[in-house]
Chain A
Amino acid sequence: MKARVFITLKPGVLDPQGKAIHHALEGLGFSGVNDVRAGKLIELDLAEGTKDSEIENMCRKLLANTVIENFRIERLQDA
């Protein structure tokens, strides 16, 4: 069973990397980009039957720093 964890900075938390990417996009001539926020994607290969609450625990204890980051869990169907 696979799951993806998306980790994003909380709204209002300054994102220097997102800003730099934004400037670089503008430098390449891409207009119309209003804002850029950079985050992380973590893919987990989990034992069958791993509960949502277990994945959430992993996020709270390690994968995300909830002082500055939000997380979202997405379970993937087995291919």
Chain B
Amino acid sequence: MKSAVIVFPGSNCDRDLAVALELVTGRKPAMVWHKEAELPDGVDFIGIPGGFSYGDYLRSGAMAARSPVMRAVKDAAARGVPVIGICNGFQVLTEAGLLPGALMRNAGLSFVCRPVRLKVENSQSLFTSQYDSGEEVLFPVAHHDGNYQADEATLDRLEGEGRVAFRYLDAVNGSARNIAGILNDAGNVLGLMPHPERVVEPAHGGTDGRRLFEGLLETVNA
């Protein structure tokens, strides 16, 4: 699997994501700077990492979503290339219009940084095939703007179409219907606030995130 990790000024989980991808795929991802207009040839997975791109100016993810590389990411997503946005990456994907809804300031106003329990709601997606439906997993979160909001019709559609991939088992940030991660309608774009790349080795205190990348690898190689 040839993966690319997009790097914006202010990204800070790009290395973590690259390490997790290399661990699982055995291949170093290409690190692609936000000013690039094109992705490396033959990229079959794109990761948008966490961090504070552009210092969260205007709105979290707003500036990054309009940077040159995102045009190439949108084109790739439209061709069916799997794209994952983690934390700030999720914010970038909603701002870019690749996923519906918006991520607002946490309801409690505090930065939340702790492992949280999640329920895998959809185990059929190309990101979650290695999990059981309804399985409980533990991923860390670290965010200030993780409060997922969308209008009721959008939320109903997400639920009805099985596009809620992960849900918080406890109240974390005020997200509508405790949504932690969602898929696009084609199922090849996933955005989630929790960090699977931070739980891929026993030394991390857990390995629940590893299967997300393993599932992805299996799908891409299939």
Contact = CB atoms under 8 A, between A and B. Distances in A.
Interface string A1-36: 000000000000110110010000000000000000
Given A67-B102, A67-B150, A16 B62 contact: no
Contacts of A61: 66
A20 B107 CA distance: 10
B9 interface: no
A63 B147 CA distance: 20
A74 B108 CA distance: 33
Nearest to A67: B102
Given A62-B58, A67-B150, A14 B101 contact: no
Contact of B66 (A13, A14, A20, A62): A62
B104 A20 contact: no
A16 B66 contact: no
Contact of B174 (A14, A65, A67): A14
Contact of B108 (A13, A16, A62): A16
A63 B174 CA distance: 25
A40 to B, nearest CB: 8
A17 B108 CA distance: 9
A16 B174 contact: yes
B149 A16 contact: no
A22 to B, nearest CB: 12
Contacts of B174: 14, 16
B105 A13 contact: no
- Of the listed residues B95, B104, B107, B108, the one surrounded by the most CB atoms of chain A closer than 10 A to its CB is B104
Contact of B109 (A20, A63, A67): A20
Contacts of B104: 13-14, 16, 68
Given A62-B58, A65-B59, A68-B149, A16 B107 contact: yes
B130 interface: no
A63 B58 CA distance: 7
Contacts of A17: 105, 109
A19 B87 CA distance: 24
B106 interface: yes
Contacts of B66: 61-62
A27 to B, nearest CB: 15
Interface of B: 58-59, 62, 66, 94-95, 100-102, 104-109, 147, 149-150, 174
